[in-house]
Structure 1
Amino acid sequence: MHSQTPYEITTVPQMPTTARAEMLPHEIPPGVQLVTLPGGIRTLAYTQAPAAPEPQPVPGAAPIPTWAKTTALLTPTIGGGVAAAGTGLSYAAPGLIAMSQALWATVALIAAGAIALPLLLGIGRSRTGRAAPTQITQNITATGLFGRANGTITNR
């Protein structure tokens, strides 16, 4: 095995507490404090100093997104278009009302014509004289299950 040189551990002789000189508070360096250990001995010890707060970043001017610029530029245009459309509709309202009434009158005239025209035609035929109604006779013959059908039509 390796030969190890034994080292003797020595301790500093303790001085009586009355003979020990203590440091004044202004002599203690930063990060060192006077602490009392569980055995009652008071000693100097390094402590963790509270971390200095990081300085707050100064808010800089953020660039404006392109979509926001485009929207801001289009807003007056869209608003102006809506306003112009509203003004045009307000001027056109009396004409639109008259046109809608004319359209309803036209629909009513077409419906009345669809009902009256067959009645008028029926009256006109009855005045010209009564003719016998036309009779149509069909004679259809076929031979066999899949035979070709032949037929005649007679008008009388």
Structure 2
Amino acid sequence: MYPETAYEITTHTPRRADYPAYLPAPEGPVMLPSEIPPGVQMVTLPGGIRTLAYTQPTVPTAPVVAVAQPIPAWAKTTALLTPTIGGGIAAAGIGLSYAAPGLIAMSQALWSAVALITAAAIGVPVLLRLGRAATGTGGGTTHITQNITASGMFGKANGTINHH
């Protein structure tokens, strides 16, 4: 009723007592990590196989000695100009603080002058009109008519102006 499955029976190969447990069980003769000669290391190949291989010893590199380099000209110029620029800004700030009351007074005077000019530009024509109406001069209005005639598209235009 059930098909019989063939199972392969294997026997457990005991581990050597002095072989590290964190390494996979090797096939064949085993060399302990303490028995590996200098210059030889246990490496894992791309296929996953672990084997012994000669390695190149790492040569310690000599420390890099810092060589003093000259300071560039632009850095010297900037370093020399920095106090000058800072002093100029400080002097400008002090000057503005002393000039502030005068500047405020000048701005108030300027606004007063603008208000006076505006009032004069509006008030003078109004006063003249009121004065003319009270004295009776220029009581009538003038009517001007203009007649312009032209003949054809490019003809000379003639016109008359009539005052009534």
**TM > 0.5 between the two?**
yes
Q: CA deviation at 1:54?
A: 2.4
Tell me: CA distance 1:150–1:49, structure 2 relative to 1, closer, same or farther (3 Å): closer
**Counterpart Cα distance in 2 of 1:122 and 1:73:** 70
Tell me: CA distance 1:33–1:76, structure 2 relative to 1, closer, same or farther (3 Å): closer
Answering whether residue 83 of structure 2 is matched by residue 114 of structure 1, we say no
**Counterpart Cα distance in 1 of 2:81 and 2:151:** 82
Task: Please identify the structure whose Cα radius of gyration is greater.
Answer: 1
* Contact 2:39–2:55 under 8 Å retained in 1: no
**Counterpart Cα distance in 1 of 2:39 and 2:129:** 127
Tell me: CA distance 1:132–1:57, structure 2 relative to 1, closer, same or farther (3 Å): same
Answering whether residue 77 of structure 2 is matched by residue 83 of structure 1, we say no
Indicate the SS of the match to 1:133. Answer: coil
Indicate the SS of the match to 2:71. Answer: coil
Any unmatched runs of 5+ in structure 2?
A: 1-36, 41-53
Pick one of 115, 132, 137 that aligns with 2:145. Answer: 137
Look up the match of 1:55: 62
**Counterpart Cα distance in 2 of 1:148 and 1:122:** 42
CA deviation digits over 1:38-83, x for unaligned, max 9? xxxxxxxxx7662431211221212212221111011000000000
Question: What letter is aligned with 1:75?
Answer: T
**Counterpart Cα distance in 2 of 1:120 and 1:93:** 40
Any unmatched runs of 5+ in structure 1?
A: 1-31, 36-46
140-149 or 85-94, larger mean C-alpha shift? 140-149
- Cα-Cα RMSD: 2.3
Question: What letter is aligned with 1:83?
Answer: A
TM-score (ref. length: structure 2): 0.61
- Write out the 4+ residue segments of structure 1 that deviate beyond 6 Å after TM superposition: 32-35
**Counterpart Cα distance in 2 of 1:61 and 1:93:** 51
Look up the match of 1:68: 75
Q: CA deviation at 1:33?
A: 6.2
Look up the match of 2:155: 147
Q: CA deviation at 1:147?
A: 2.0
**Counterpart Cα distance in 2 of 1:129 and 1:77:** 73
